Structure 1
Amino acid sequence: MKRTRADRAGKRAFAGWIGKRVLGGILTVLLASVLIYGALRLVPGDPVLAMTGGRRLTPDQIEALRHRHGLDRGFVQGYLAWIGDALRLDFGMSTNYQTSVTSLITNRLGVSGPLILYSAVLAVVSGLAVALVSAVKGGLVNRAAGMAAAVTTATPTFVSAIGLLALFSVGLGWFPATGAGTGLADRLWHLTLPAVAMAIVAFGVLARVGNAAFAEELRREHVEVARSRGVGAAAVIRRHVVRNALAPMLTIVGLLFASLFVGTAVVETAFGLDGVGSLLVSSVSRRDFPVVQGIALIAVLLFVVVNTLVDLAMPFIDPRVALGGAGR
């Protein structure tokens, strides 16, 4: 009976912990959406003139633009109308392309989506592999890995993109300099250099953080006990090191995966890819505020969703997280 009551109390506490995480994510998106919508109102001068780049418009055209973007209404009323449309995946019309912002972003995701996934796989596999090997080997290997992680972390993405283009496209001619390719194999070939350029910083972060996490687990008492009992080195690393270090690493991986979406702006521009990142850059330069607002809101939503999913997955990877969170 007591155990049943304890189980019910534990489930209620765990459900409350999940509810807090989800509610926190929703509030974050709402606050960010207010700031994103309000940015248009903070433009110096007339926002309509800022969007049109000073082009001469008739009074009827100016009034139509004001109504389209909710500038003829108060802030609260305009925001509620805008966020209501956004919840229906309607981000308005692009002032530059004269088409739906949603369709523009959806069409560009065909390039940005594979690029982000490709880059994430490269960063996670190489970063964690280097981190684990350097933590286990130690000595010269550990120092070399630390130097490589420090250099890659400090290298800006645009520098990596220029260097890769100069060496592998212009110099050696191994990879194409621009374009996204057609078909699976051709697309992977075209996206290899952009994916590597995006993955370099993420690789450095994962290698450094992963090395520290794995090294800490290797020094724990239960690892020494397992070794003294004759458990094989591979089994010790798999069961006691990697598994226990996975929880803190998952948080870093989630953050880096979401940040890759923002990183597409630099890489896609450098490699001439028609993705969401290059669309954001061109929309900022052309003052296409509806497109900028739509991409910004999607980026915030991606960060919040990924971080919330990571938080919800933590208790299943490390039950201590759930116990600690439920107790607060």
Structure 2
Amino acid sequence: MAGLLLRRAGGIAVTLLVTSFLVFGSVHLAPGDPASFLLGGRSASPAAVAAIKEQYHLNDPFLVQYAKWIGGVVTGDFGKSAQFRQDVAGLVMARLPTTLWLIGYAALLIVIGGLAFGAVAALRRGVVDRLVLVGTGIATATPSFVAAIGLISLFSVQLGWFPAFGNGSGLGDRVHHLTLPAAALALTFVGLLARVTRTAMLEELGREHVEVARSRGVPGSDVVRRHVLRNALGPISTVTGTVVAGLLVATSIVETAFGLSGVGQLLVSSVTVKDFPVVQAVSLLVVLAFVTANLVVDLLHPLIDPRLTRPKGGTA
């Protein structure tokens, strides 16, 4: 376990370093003068332009600029936002709770819905299975912004059950405000996880040890719980970890559609006005979420899938 942690920690460090280099380099690859981007397109005197270049070390060679920037990142200094005129770290941290609430709510819907629909499809072959496949196919193909528009139109405008905009305050009000955004964010991934769950369970249902358990008179619920679902959790957990990490990227569209002041909406507005310090910080945060989620899945996988900890030659 210690060796795995060291290897993965090294891999995470390398991934973040390479990503930071690519993200930082994107500013220099973009057409135009970086100083003009940082000024937000406003006309400025030569003295103001020179001050901006001095503040962001734009007169230094590229590698020197990168070294200074990554040195600040290591200490938590991501620079200042050209759009909001405040520290990027504080700006992101102020909006992070809303995004984490949204991701947590959506992840809960994804796990419950994906496992439930996938299990029903695997255990109820025929009409039910086909209906679930059609429904999950539609869900997987529905973009988040389309789902957001549909949910707002039906449940907010027509029925008035949920608010269309805002974060809410307090636990109950926040959950009420985030229900539609979480549903819009989760819809595509529920369909994906349901299909993965169905495939994994069908594979386990066809294995020899499941047939043996049934022939011995083991109740169907015990067969599913002990021999099918438990062994199927390996691929399911892998996909779930990747999906949850990917939610941070998908929040951009949903937060913008529902007017949520989260990290995703911050990324969209920063890209629009070319606020590169914020874009760089959020991009690193997304990559960190991906690699951390993969690390957690790798560590939990042996605990979730009993076959990985069983000695060779053991029975399922």
**TM-score surpassing 0.5?**
yes
> Shift of residue 52 of structure 1?
2.0
The answer as to whether partners of 1:284 and 1:292 remain within 8 angstroms in 2 is yes
Q: Which has the higher contact order (CA 8 A, sep 6+)?
A: 1
Matching residue within 275, 285, 290 for 1:288:
275
The answer to whether 1:302 aligns with 2:292 is no
Show the counterpart of 1:105: 92
The answer to whether 1:171 aligns with 2:177 is no
Identical aligned pairs, as a percentage? 50
The answer to whether 1:22 aligns with 2:9 is yes
Show the counterpart of 2:146: 159
SS in 1 for 2:287: helix
Distance change in 2, residues 1:33/1:232 (3 Å): same
Output the CA distance in 1 between the equivalents of 2:186 and 2:5: 31
Show the counterpart of 2:305: 318
The answer as to whether partners of 2:256 and 2:264 remain within 8 angstroms in 1 is yes
Show the counterpart of 2:187: 200
Output the CA distance in 2 between the equivalents of 1:251 and 1:197: 22
The answer as to whether partners of 1:21 and 1:311 remain within 8 angstroms in 2 is no
SS in 1 for 2:53: helix
The answer as to whether partners of 1:283 and 1:289 remain within 8 angstroms in 2 is yes
Output the CA distance in 2 between the equivalents of 1:196 and 1:249: 20
With normalisation by structure 1, the TM-score equals 0.91
The answer to whether 1:247 aligns with 2:234 is yes
> Shift of residue 233 of structure 1?
1.1
Output the CA distance in 2 between the equivalents of 1:59 and 1:323: 70
Amino acid aligned to 1:170: V
Show the counterpart of 1:232: 219
Output the CA distance in 2 between the equivalents of 1:296 and 1:69: 19
The answer as to whether partners of 1:52 and 1:287 remain within 8 angstroms in 2 is no
Output the CA distance in 1 between the equivalents of 2:145 and 2:33: 34
Amino acid aligned to 2:156: S
The answer as to whether partners of 1:43 and 1:50 remain within 8 angstroms in 2 is no
Output the CA distance in 2 between the equivalents of 1:248 and 1:61: 56
Provide the alpha-carbon RMSD of the alignment. Answer: 1.7
Amino acid aligned to 1:86: V
Alignment deviations for residues 206-229 of structure 1 (CA, whole Å, 9 cap, x no partner): 011110001111111101111111
Distance change in 2, residues 1:285/1:106 (3 Å): same
With normalisation by structure 2, the TM-score equals 0.94
Show the counterpart of 1:38: 25
Q: Which runs of 5+ in 1 are unaligned?
A: 1-13
Amino acid aligned to 1:95: A
SS in 1 for 2:282: helix
The answer to whether 1:209 aligns with 2:196 is yes
Amino acid aligned to 2:205: L
> Shift of residue 319 of structure 1?
5.7
Amino acid aligned to 1:172: L
Amino acid aligned to 1:240: H
The number of residues matched between the two structures is 311
The answer to whether 1:190 aligns with 2:177 is yes
Distance change in 2, residues 1:67/1:305 (3 Å): farther
Distance change in 2, residues 1:23/1:321 (3 Å): farther
Q: Which runs of 5+ in 2 are unaligned?
A: 312-316
